[in-house]
Structure formats: structure tokens, C-alpha cells
Chain A
Amino acid sequence: MEQEPILEVDNLHTHFFTKSGVVKAVDGVSFSVKPGETLGIVGESGSGKSITAMSIMRLIKDPPGKIVEGGLTFKGEDLLAKSEKEMRSIRGDRISMIFQDPMTSLNPVFTVEKQMVETIRAHRNVSKKQAIDRAVELLELVGIPSPRSRLKSYPHEFSGGMRQRVMIALALSCDPEVLIADEPTTALDVTIQAQILELLGRLQKELGMAIVMITHDLGVVAEVCDRVMVMYAGKPVEFAEVTELFDHPKHPYTWGLIGSIPNMENRQERLEAIKGLPPDLRALPEGCSFAPRCKHAMDKCQSKDPDFKEESAGHQVRCLLYEEEEVAVK
């Protein structure tokens, strides 16, 4: 069953023009998501994963930020050609986003009811009463007990997990076709995280939406994603199906990430940390951005920036180790 991708990102470049130089936060990201599929974007702070999400939503503040190159296509429509007004009708309706911190992304001075009704009525031509009924239905869907009375509560009256559920309910209020979840469980405890991930999975099955899951947690990726893109310093360094990525990781950065996680089954003597620090995005090293931290760096890595190439079916990697002459060495 081959489905058409619903969202396509093609060679996206988002740069920030600051006083101290140009920050290439996203520098050549491409991917596509199909309905019902979960795509993971993994990387550490500053790798550009959140800016990728914000770019899709066209939420990059200009100035200083700007999408300088690339294409964003949603169901065949060019998102970059849309006016702000048109984007507003898409955001929260057909493409929705859940943010990491539910405390700062809900408005503290309005009740949940007011915020939900506002969102629903911005996109749907319904009466206030119908909107409230819809809000009750949504809160019930995400598992908030006694939803009708909870609607009158303010965000601070909810616990962290419950607030994240409210955020999800809000994001789902207009049955979006694409849900972008930016670290949706990072601020939560593991038992609550398990609840939220299960909820998202269930809702995805029921509603058939595509999810772009942005996270730094490889455990979350292994659990919920179908395909994964690993990002480093604004660029994708590896892209594969989830089982392929964990079974046959190809990029040294992915090796490092996997080695950095303590293994619960067999305790390692030492964690295989990646040495050094992520680079300054204003002054990226020449050649491969990861070369200064890479155990396998060769001379040519200092000068040549590798291409992002398909190494095996559906598995792309950006590394000179897979240049033809090197394959023989391995």
C-alpha cells in the first residue's frame, strides 16, 4: 500500500541573521511523512530539530530568521507561498503542534475552556455551545477525568501530565492531518511519559494523522517512530527506518549517541561518550561538522563536507567513511 506523502520538506535552509554572524540553524533538511506514519527527528540541543518544526509551521520570526532556501509542500500545496492569513487557517487546523513545555505554551490567565473554544471557533463555524461540547469530547478523548468541570480550570490547576494532555487536546481540536510534537514528554516523569506516548499512539490509530516526533531520547524514538532522521549541527546525518537505524547505525555520531545511553540489560563498564562539544553554528568547521568530535575522522574529513547519500535501500548517511575507496578498507 503506497500512500502519497502528506508533508514534504525539501532541502530546507533556515538561517538566522544575527549581529555576530549568520547562524545556519537548519541547513539542508529533506524528508516526507505519510498519513498514519511517525517520523522521528533526533538530535541534541542546537541540532536544528525544533527550528525545522517551527519552519514547517512558518513560525520563524523574520527578522532575524529566514527560510532562505527549500520547499515545504503540504498535500501538494506550497506552504512557503502562503500568506500569513492563509497560514493561520492551516496552523492548528490541518497542521498542529505540541510544544515541550505545557506551562509556557498555555495562556495562564485564561481558563482551558476559553482557550479551547477560541481555537475551535477560529477554524470551525460553530456556536459557543457546540465548541464547548467539542472541548468536553476532546478532554475525554485524552483521558482527563470529569472533563466538563475541568474546563473551568486554569492551566496552573493541572499537573504537568494533565497539562500536556490539555495541550494535546488543543492540538487535536480540529482533527489535524499532521501533528508536530516537539519534545512532548521531555518535561514529564517516566510513568506519565508512558501514558502520553500510549495516548498519542492510540489517537494516531483512531484519527490516522501523521506525526513528526522531535526528541533527544532514543528510547522514545525506538518506541514510537517508523522512520528516523538524526540531525547534527543543522544537517541530517543519517536517515533510516527505525529497526535499521538501531540494528545497523552507520554514522559515527549515531554510534556515539547509542553508546552514550546506559544499557539496562548489560551494564557497560564505561559509557562511550562523544568527546568535545557541539560546534558553534556561526562558525562551523570546514569539511564535516562532526569531524572534530569523530573517532573515525580522516584527513579529508577536515576539508570535504560529505554528501547525504543513500547507502543501502532507504538508508541515507552523510559520512566520508562510505565513499567508495573507504568501503574497501572497512
Chain B
Amino acid sequence: MTQNLLEVNNLKKHFPIKKGAILPKQVGAVKAVDGVSFHVRKGETLGLVGESGCGKSTTGRSILNLIKPTEGEVKYKGQNIAHYKGEQLRQLRKEIQIIFQDPYASLNPRMTVEQIIEEPMRAFKVPASERKPKVEKLLNVVGLSPYHKHRYPHQFSGGQRQRIGIARALSLDPELIICDEPVSALDVSIQAQVVNLMEDLQKEFDLTYIFIAHDLSVVHHISDRVAVMYLGEIVEVGEVEELYKNPKHPYTQALLSAIPEANPHKKRDRIMLEGDLPSPSDPPQGCKFHTRCPFAEEQCKVEHPKLKDVSTGDHQAACHLVNEVVKEPVSG
């Protein structure tokens, strides 16, 4: 069994809502992430999916400590990194990097490509003699050419910029990369290029990815395991094929049935969800999904469901209506 590189336990991020001009008082909280637990094994890709506002990006950023979590544990290689500060936190950035969604906003327009890619190395005092060849090597690795290094971001297309962002993330040889919607701003043909590149890099550098996206087909393609989020919670998590073929949670079922597939012959039974996502500042009691769930019962309105094993494999869901499967304890 491969070891867990990252373990997240009961992670919460509540953004306070304050009122009052002089002495602001907290009147509530947006529960962006509300008790999320999962693990990531070394070398695998964990997909994190959900609709806008479900807390998937906040989860990603809380792991990196770009947003300080309100509560909970983030264990990286066995160490709880949630409370890291200052130098300790800075050192951690060598190992965990992030790729952002918007390749237009995440590159400094006044820096050349070379400066952008070597910036992390500069921050960690890598000598210039090593930096320069590394920049050229990285440019080759991500499918650009060394002569691009004197250019500025505006001279590149969206897909090329995303490649620059990837080269920057790789510059310190990280182990874990959090990819926050890395391809959603790109056209399909370019998206496929970047997805292929990310898969190649994973093999070459033995990387572990947390791949955050709302596009379920891309997540299906790239992930080994997938976690589905709804209103700040994980409602279902499991091995990718098992979860896509045999979704247990009604939200996952609805989400999967909503994807339009590029196949005009396929007539599918779509589960239509009524209404919109409730506000995370005032989430429903009980199961957070019960207001939109087509199968909700009395129990769902009162009692909050916990993640439980729903198959003998690696597959858990948080729903009262799904029967728990008791796994045989592993003998030996």
C-alpha cells in the first residue's frame, strides 16, 4: 500500500461576516469549507469536483496555507502543517506548489518569462549558475523553447501562459502540486494539450496532484480518485471508475447525469436538480443537500450524514439513503 502523502482531517474555513462601522461584530460566517477530510497517496491524482461555491478552491488554498484554515489538520508527510508560520511555512512551499486557473492574472505582466520561472529559485537562493540552465530545461519540458525566455506574458496565448505557470510550479522540484482549475480557461484543443503535458510531467517527475475542476470529464480523464464536494463538504469520494460508473450519492448522480456528452445518439435519464445552491452562510440543517435532493426524507432534514463505506472497494458517500457496506477487516 502506498503511503499517504497528504492527510486532511476535518478541515474548516469559515469566513466571518462582520457588521458595524466602528467596532465591527461578527454576525455570521460563510462556511466555505466545513469539515473536509481526505487523503492523497504519493504519485496519484486526486480530483476535487463540485459546482462554483462548493469550497473546492478554498480547500486547495487552505492546504497550501494561502488561506489560514479555521480548524482542522493538514498532515503533509505526517507533519501537521496547518499551523505553520514564517520560515517553516516558506520552506514548505518548496514541496507544495500551485497552478492557478487564470493564466492571464497569475503571471506578472512586467516580468519576462525567465524572471517568472526563476523567481521561486531566487527566493530560495539557488545560485544564478544553476538557475539559468534550469529555466531553459523547464521551458523545454513544458513544450516551449528557450528563446521564449526574454518575452513577456502578453506575447503568449492562454495555453502557452498556462505552460509558463506550470514551469514556474516545477522550478523547485515540488512533490505535490495543487492544480486549481488549470485548464478551464482554455479552448478544448489547447486544454487537451495541457492535460497531456500534465500527465507526462507527473510520470517524469513522480508528482502528486490535487486536481480541482468543475469539468467532470477532464477530472475523469486525469484522476485516480475523485472527491465530490457540495456546500463545503465532501459528499462522495472514491476510485474514479467506481465513482463514475456507480455513483451512490444523489448529488453525484445528478451532477454526472447533467454532463452533456458528445454523442447525439445517447438519450439519458437526466436527474434534474431543482433550484440553486443554498447560501454557504446559512446552509440547510441536516443533510445540506436535502433542499434539492429528489429523494429527501424526514431524516435528511434533521440528521447530518457522515461519510461511510458504500462498496467493498475504495468508495465512500455521505447519504442516509445509501446502505453502509461493512468491509471485511484486512487480515494479516
Minimum distance in angstroms from B253 CB to a CB of chain A = 11
B145 CB within 8 Å of chain A: no
Complex interface: stretch among A77-85, A94-102, A266-274, A318-326: A266-274
Is the Cβ of B221 less than 8 Å from the Cβ of A267? yes
Residues of A252-272 at the interface with B, using a CB-CB cut-off of 8 Å, are 256-264, 267-268, 270-272
- Known A259-B192, A268-B221; judge A277-B159 contact (CB<8 A): yes
- Known A44-B187, A189-B51, A189-B52; judge A260-B260 contact (CB<8 A): no
0 or 1 for each of B61-105: is its CB under 8 Å from A? (1 = yes) = 000000000000000000000000000000000000000000000
Is the Cβ of A262 less than 8 Å from the Cβ of B218? yes
Residues of A294-309 at the interface with B, using a CB-CB cut-off of 8 Å, are none
- Known A257-B188, A259-B192; judge A191-B258 contact (CB<8 A): yes
For B262, what are the chain A residues with a Cβ–Cβ distance below 8 Å?
218-219, 221-222, 246, 258, 261
Is the Cβ of A273 less than 8 Å from the Cβ of B189? yes
- Known A45-B187, A264-B244, A271-B196; judge A219-B218 contact (CB<8 A): no
- Known A195-B272, A262-B220; judge A219-B192 contact (CB<8 A): no
State A242–B51 Cα separation when bound (angstroms): 29
State A243–B254 Cα separation when bound (angstroms): 25
Question: Whose C-beta in chain A lies nearest to the C-beta of B158?
Answer: A45
For A217, what are the chain B residues with a Cβ–Cβ distance below 8 Å?
260
B265 CB within 8 Å of chain A: yes
For B220, what are the chain A residues with a Cβ–Cβ distance below 8 Å?
262, 264, 267
Minimum distance in angstroms from B2 CB to a CB of chain A = 21
A61 CB within 8 Å of chain B: no
Is the Cβ of B188 less than 8 Å from the Cβ of A44? yes
Residues of B45-59 at the interface with A, using a CB-CB cut-off of 8 Å, are 51-52
State A44–B189 Cα separation when bound (angstroms): 8
Number of interface residues of A (CB under 8 A): 45
Is the Cβ of A222 less than 8 Å from the Cβ of B260? yes
B297 CB within 8 Å of chain A: no
For B254, what are the chain A residues with a Cβ–Cβ distance below 8 Å?
191
State A271–B52 Cα separation when bound (angstroms): 26
Is the Cβ of A198 less than 8 Å from the Cβ of B52? no
Question: Whose C-beta in chain A lies nearest to the C-beta of B187?
Answer: A44
For A263, what are the chain B residues with a Cβ–Cβ distance below 8 Å?
217, 221
Minimum distance in angstroms from A18 CB to a CB of chain B = 17
Most chain B beta-carbon contacts within 10 A, residue among A219, A261, A263: A261
B201 CB within 8 Å of chain A: no
Is the Cβ of B52 less than 8 Å from the Cβ of A242? no
Question: Whose C-beta in chain B lies nearest to the C-beta of A198?
Answer: B272
For B264, what are the chain A residues with a Cβ–Cβ distance below 8 Å?
222-223, 242-243, 246
For A30, what are the chain B residues with a Cβ–Cβ distance below 8 Å?
none
Of the candidates B160, B188, B265, the one whose C-beta lies within 8 Å of that of A216 is B188
State A198–B218 Cα separation when bound (angstroms): 24
Of the candidates A189, A221, A271, the one whose C-beta lies within 8 Å of that of B192 is A271
0 or 1 for each of B244-277: is its CB under 8 Å from A? (1 = yes) = 1000000000110111111111100010110011
0 or 1 for each of B205-228: is its CB under 8 Å from A? (1 = yes) = 000000000101110110000000
Is the Cβ of A273 less than 8 Å from the Cβ of B193? yes
For B265, what are the chain A residues with a Cβ–Cβ distance below 8 Å?
243, 246
For B293, what are the chain A residues with a Cβ–Cβ distance below 8 Å?
none
State A160–B214 Cα separation when bound (angstroms): 15
Is the Cβ of A190 less than 8 Å from the Cβ of B193? no
Is the Cβ of B221 less than 8 Å from the Cβ of A191? no
Is the Cβ of A190 less than 8 Å from the Cβ of B259? yes
State A220–B264 Cα separation when bound (angstroms): 10
For A195, what are the chain B residues with a Cβ–Cβ distance below 8 Å?
272-273
Is the Cβ of B193 less than 8 Å from the Cβ of A275? yes
A197 CB within 8 Å of chain B: yes
Q: Nearest 5 pairs between A and B by C-beta?
A: A219-B260, A262-B221, A273-B192, A260-B192, A189-B51
Q: Which residues of A contact B (CB under 8 A)?
A: 44-45, 159-162, 189-195, 197-198, 216-223, 242-243, 246, 256-264, 267-268, 270-275, 277-278
What are 11 contact pairs spanning A and B, CB under 8 A?
Answer: A44-B188, A189-B52, A191-B273, A194-B257, A194-B272, A219-B262, A222-B264, A223-B264, A257-B189, A273-B190, A274-B193
Contacts A193-B260, A219-B260, A264-B216 supplied; 16 other A-B pairs, CB < 8 Å: A194-B260, A194-B272, A220-B260, A222-B262, A243-B265, A246-B262, A246-B264, A258-B262, A260-B189, A267-B221, A267-B241, A268-B221, A270-B199, A273-B195, A274-B193, A278-B187
